[in-house]
Amino acid sequence: MAGDIAITVEDNIATLRVRNPERRNAISATMWQSIAAFAQSAPSRRDIRVVIIRGDGDLAFSAGADIIGFNEARSGTANAKGYDDLVEDTCRAIEAMPQPAIAMIKGACMGAGASLAASCDLRVASQNAFFAVPAGRLGLGYDPRGIKRMLRVFGPLTAQILYTAQRIPAPRFHDVGGVHAIAEDNDVEALATSLARTIADNAPLTLKAVKASIRALNANDPALLAEAERLSAQADASNDYAEGRAAFAEKRTPRFTGS
């Protein structure tokens, strides 16, 4: 089985499932392209307010890039650069989605799978989950853009996972803020769903403006910051803001429409 990507949408929550169970959800070039295509379509999806990204089954979020095809897809400097560009472009597409993304992590989260998780806005993990980057065991050069992302999200543990190529338990990442919540193995799916539901019940234009602001400030990019300011002003002028004020005054749950 070559693996694929499955996407479901229910009650404004999209779940993107990485499916390659025979290879612990390793991600092929075609799968990276499918993830990127979904992320690029997200701005036009008014039916989606939050995205959950997860692996298929309980054994792995993802074992990273599928090295089966590396003899062709990632051999030589030019091919390696092209493959790294594909992974980086996919991660950036997730970061650029207007909807918040939650990585739900069970089992292994390795290599480019760790980059995929780091590109999400929030991460929840099971007690038995672990992170590892085995580049040092493979002898490949790890993309500095991916290292920069990991440094921002995983902080001081980035050097350890890259230098040692060893497994580090998810609770260690929770200690440094790289994982936002830890649950018992059987409870992590419910935790991710509950978190997604809480976010999806909030005003979509506010969420969009907040995500744009975080992205702009992380990138220190004036153009992105100007766009974030525009989106914040749009939220201030929205029907949802009027609805939020009315609901607060009337002591009822607001009904946001994203307009």
Domain ranges of the chain: 4-200, 204-250
Which sign, positive or negative, has the C-alpha torsion 163, 164, 167, 169?
Answer: negative
Which tokens is 97 given?
Answer: 């989605």
Q: Which helix (H) or strand (E) holds 124?
A: strand 122-126
Which sign, positive or negative, has the C-alpha torsion 219, 110, 16, 207?
Answer: negative
Which tokens is 218 given?
Answer: 């992380």
Find, among 37, 124, 17, the residue nearest to 89 by Cα.
Answer: 37
Which tokens is 47 given?
Answer: 């039916």
Angle between helices 239-250 and 222-236 (to 10 degrees): 50
Three-class secondary structure of residue 77 per DSSP: helix
Q: Contact 43/6 with Cβ under 8 angstroms?
A: no
Residue-level pLDDT, tens digit, the chain, 259 residues:
579 999 999 999 999 999 999 999 999 999 999 999 999 999 999 999 999 999 999 999 999 988 765 555 545 565 678 889 999 999 999 999 999 999 999 999 999 999 999 999 999 999 999 999 999 998 888 999 999 999 999 999 999 999 999 999 999 999 999 999 999 999 999 999 999 999 999 999 999 999 999 999 999 999 999 999 999 999 999 999 999 999 999 999 999 999 9
pLDDT for res 72: 54
For residue 226, which amino acid is it?
A: A
Class of domain 4-200: alpha beta
